[in-house]
Amino acid sequence: MTLELTSAGESHGPALVAIVMGLPAGLRVEHAAIAEDLRRRRQGYGRSPRQQLEEDEVQVLAGLRHRRTLGTPLALVIANRDHANWAWGMSAWPPEGEPSGKGTTSVTLPRPGHADLAGTLKFGHEDARNALERASARSTAIHVAAGAVAEGLLAELGMGVAGRVIEVGGETSEDAWIAATDAARAARDTLGGVVEVVATGVPPGLGSYAEKATRLDARIAGTLMGIQAVKGVELGDGFALARTRGSEAHDEIEPDRRRATNHAGGLEAGVTNGEPVVARAAMKPLPTLMRPLRSVDLVSGEPGEALVERSDVQAVDALAVVAEAAVAWELARAVREKFGGDALVDVRAAHSAYLERIGWHTR
């Protein structure tokens, strides 16, 4: 038993869709909780006007009745309001009438740092838009919606997951983030940053050291690295551990089997150890610059300037929400694997029985 998600949707297509398999029946899904996470994803200093345009209203087409999951596939849809401006350019069928709106001319000047060049070559596209539309971080909206559902499941078992920004453009205070973002915008440049996700109430024993692929540390690192623009991930003290001695690096075990420190970030041998799970992700500066980078025209072979498409100056606040959803999703998968159950009551019973067997009390 596990949770699986399959999604589809282009950035300027009609909608983002997801099918979620493996939720237990009877889980309460709050529309307001999903809406709140989607709102948080759109927020943040340095985002582009697209965020005001999109409402990100989630529709549930299947798997839910009167707010409770049915134990059947859950189908989620988020319409792209901006599609109205791209109806001709992004039409699924050969469009009728004169070209109108956006996306009517081919993108032949790939942007460095985006999927444009590699995707065009890999799939044999003549228009880089065929690659960049799906590679866009617009898809993170549907993952945030699914993450909100996962957080609901985790909350039933006393677990909470929270993401926050810890650095923007190398700065560590909010005033400095705003100033750095303003300066980057004025210079028609972009910034990156670092976010941190902490999961609390996590019991020991989620994940497994049996194989690389089952290690929860690997899975959390993988899901964070799977987010657009993430170039580095660390768990617990991560890279800093490499510069300390063993006597300072490990979390000694107290009589109650808890730890006074948490350098490991709640994971030992790919298994949760009962301490908060702590993961950080580093985001590169966004690759679409209003002062375009050098590129080459894929048709003429002439040097040129990369495509300039409406873009954020920085999206680190959004990454905090997207990363929170990703970690929640992976933890929820590990919960489904460990506790099984068709109905939420079964999951809760298995969870309680396990905590009783190991004599574990959440702090």
Q: Does 312 bind ligand FMN (CB under 6 A)?
A: yes
> Roughly what angle, to the nearest 10 degrees, separates helices 316-339 and 31-42?
140
Verify binding: residue 161, ligand FMN, rule CB under 6 A.
no
SS (H, E, C) 163-232: EEEEEECCECCHHHHHHHHHHHHHCCCCCCEEEEEEEECCCCCCCCCCCHHHCHHHHHHHHHHCCCCEEE
Q: Which of 43, 80, 40 is nearest to 59 (CA)?
A: 80
Closer residue to ligand FMN, CB minimum distance, 228 or 262:
228
Minimum CB separation from ligand FMN for residue 316, in Å? Answer: 9
For residues 109 to 128, the per-residue mask of contacts with ligand FMN, x marking binding by CB under 6 A and - elsewhere, is ----xxx-------------
CB of 53 to ligand FMN, least distance (A): 13
268/290 Cα distance (integer angstroms): 44
Whose Cβ is closer to ligand FMN: residue 45's or residue 339's? 45
* Exposure b/e, 186-198, CB count within 10 A at least 16 = b: eeebbbbbbbbbb
Query: Segment near ligand FMN (CB under 6 A), from 6-14, 108-116, 162-170, 291-299?
Result: 108-116
With CB under 6 A as the contact rule, the residue among 235, 286, 306, 307 that binds ligand FMN is: 286
User: Binding of ligand FMN at residue 196 (CB under 6 A)?
Assistant: no
Asked if 137 interacts with ligand FMN (CB under 6 A), we say yes
For residue 11, state whether it binds ligand FMN (rule: CB under 6 A).
Answer: no
Q: Verify binding: residue 144, ligand FMN, rule CB under 6 A.
A: no
Q: Which two tokens stand for residue 223?
A: 């899901």
The first and second tokens of residue 334, run together, are: 């590990």
Q: Which range in 8-16, 30-38, 225-233, 326-334 contacts ligand FMN by CB under 6 A?
A: 225-233
Q: Closer to ligand FMN at the Cβ: 227 or 331? A: 227
| 144-156: b (≥16 Cβ within 10 Å) or e | bbbbbbbbbbbeb
Q: Does 141 bind ligand FMN (CB under 6 A)?
A: no
| b (16+ CB within 10 A) / e for 320-336 | bbbbbbbbbbbbbbbbb
Stretch that binds ligand FMN, among 65-73, 94-102, 266-274, 286-294 (CB under 6 A): 286-294
Q: Which stretch binds ligand FMN (CB under 6 A): 16-24, 63-71, 315-323, 350-358?
A: 315-323
Compute the distance between CA of residue 313 and CA of residue 169 in angstroms, rounded to an integer: 11
Binding site for ligand FMN (CB under 6 A): 48, 113-115, 135-137, 140, 227-229, 284, 286-288, 311-312, 315, 318-319, 322
